[in-house]
Structure 1
Amino acid sequence: MTEVQCLGLYYLKLTGPYWNLVVNNKVPYVQLYKDVQIIHSYLKELEVNPANLLQDVPLREKDALKVPYHDLLKQKLERISEESKYRELFHEMVKMTSKAMKRTVEKQLSDFLDGGKFGQEPEEKQLDRTSFAPLTNLTCEHHFGHLDRSQRKRPGASLHHHTSVQLLKQSRTPMMKWIEEIPESDKTKLLKSARLGGKTMRKKTSTTRSQGSI
Structure 2
Amino acid sequence: MQASIGKAMYPIIYPKSPKSQTRLGPLSNGAKNSCRPVYQNSPERHKSLIENTPAFFNISDNFGADGSEPAIELSYFDVTKANIAHIQAACLKYDVDPDLIRAIMYMETTHGYYDKINPWRNTILPMNVSYTYWKDLGATEAGLEQAANNIDIGTLILRRIQDRTSDPSVAKIASIYNFLGKEVVSDYGARVATIYKQKLWKKTK
User: TM-score, normalised to structure 1's length?
Assistant: 0.22
Structure (1 or 2) with the larger CA radius of gyration? 1
User: TM-score, normalised to structure 2's length?
Assistant: 0.22
Q: Which has the higher helix share?
A: 1
Greater relative CO, 1 or 2 (CA 8 Å, sep 6+): 2
